Amino acid sequence: MLKLGLIVNPIAGMGGRVALKGTDGREVLAKARQRGAVPEAGVKAEKALRMLLPHRDSLCVYTASGAMGQDLCEKLGLPCRMVYEAPGPETSAADTAAAARALAEIPADLLLFAGGDGTARDVCGAVGEAVPVLGIPAGVKIQSAVFAFTPEDAGAVAAVMASGTPMTDSLREVVDLDEDEYRQGRVGARLYGVMRIPDCPDRLQSMKQSGFATEAGQLEAIAAFLDEHLEPGLIYAVGSGSSAKCISRRLGLPYELLGVDLIRDRQLIARDVTEEQLWTYAGTGKLRIIVSPIGGQGFLFGRGNHQFSPRVLKAVGKDGITVLSPESKLLSIPDHTLRVDCGEEEVNRLLRGYYMVLCGYGYHAAIACK
């Protein structure tokens, strides 16, 4: 019997259609309503839950009151239990977090949430790595690597679990833009944390083929190869996220998951460095960068790692950048294309072209960066 957690953020996505670039905060929500926005998250969540109808005998949905999930389960006739009751009709980030905490306590076998990056942040802050989580994409901003491609894909993952198939999961990044800055034309994404996401939600089939290396295994192989190819005297700036830090784990070095660390001669020389520090090292001509793209998005620079500023990237140059990624993450990126958005078009242009993305021990994928 699958214990499926469900949280719908009823207001997620309302800002998008009315060009508000997000729906964070009550004022923006009021403005969105004024402009005629209608709730969409419930519709997206329903698409996901419909995938579960054939499995209704082998699951129970644990959810929150009213529009946060209960209404939907009752409409579809899915067995459900309420674990959190929102105090009022207008729900907020605090309700999402409280419901998520209640679901982590059960614990749910999988927590589905319908929302965007803001909702992902709230869920991540509440449950961390306690339970596997998967996002039903329903928000304006979907930059994080914790969402299925489509609502149906998210439902399908739950359906697979309801049919008794165990699933492995991997740590994936939650990033979010600062909406106020975004509205003013500046992209200021930050990495907020990681959650446990079922493997290959958009490519379920691949899990059914046995005999292939797990993502963790691939990262170990990548790290082993990198280790053998680190050059003495060079300074390696290891980017944020759990994939890039595989080299730190391999070398047994402490690291800042959401920041940039510097490694020289297999030793940590600085942890969680600033742009200024990177710029100083870039001046020596010995700085190299090790990064991994954000899953589902493909961004190498400009999302969650602004320490790599245009001037730092220009100094290091395309040839000084090593991109690594487990193959499954590459496949999660639409068109298998990397992206850069560092803030200066001239530098973006320098960084475009093909990268030999390290996907395994001595195994590279030639991937275009646009």
The set of residues, in sequence order, having a beta carbon less than 8 Å from that of 46 and lying 6+ positions away, is 72, 75, 76
Distance CA 356, CA 240 (A): 19
| Residue among 331, 343, 347, 350 that touches other proteins (CB under 8 A) | 331
Nearer to other proteins, 56 or 190 (CB): 56
Distance CA 357, CA 338 (A): 10
Three-state secondary structure call for residue 199: coil
Distance CA 261, CA 255 (A): 6
CB atoms within 10 A of CB 17: 14
Asked if residue 50 binds other proteins (CB under 8 A), the reply is: yes
The set of residues, in sequence order, having a beta carbon less than 8 Å from that of 43 and lying 6+ positions away, is none
Nearer to other proteins, 27 or 228 (CB): 228
| Residue among 152, 178, 180, 256 that touches other proteins (CB under 8 A) | 152
Asked if residue 56 binds other proteins (CB under 8 A), the reply is: no
Angle, CA of 10, 13 and 14, to the nearest 5°: 80
Q: Which stretch binds other proteins (CB under 8 A): 95-103, 200-208, 261-269, 288-296?
A: 200-208
Asked if residue 228 binds other proteins (CB under 8 A), the reply is: no
Nearer to other proteins, 131 or 167 (CB): 167
| Residue among 20, 45, 51, 59 that touches other proteins (CB under 8 A) | 51
| Residue among 36, 77, 205, 346 that touches other proteins (CB under 8 A) | 205
Phi, psi (degrees; rounded to nearest 5) at 305? -140, 60
Tokens representing residue 360 in the block? 């395994």
CB of 366 vs other proteins, minimal distance in Å: 5
Nearer to other proteins, 186 or 203 (CB): 203
User: Where on the chain is the footprint of other proteins (CB under 8 A)?
Assistant: 50-51, 54, 150, 152-153, 155-156, 159, 163-166, 168, 202-212, 214, 217, 327-328, 331, 336, 353-354, 356, 359, 361-368
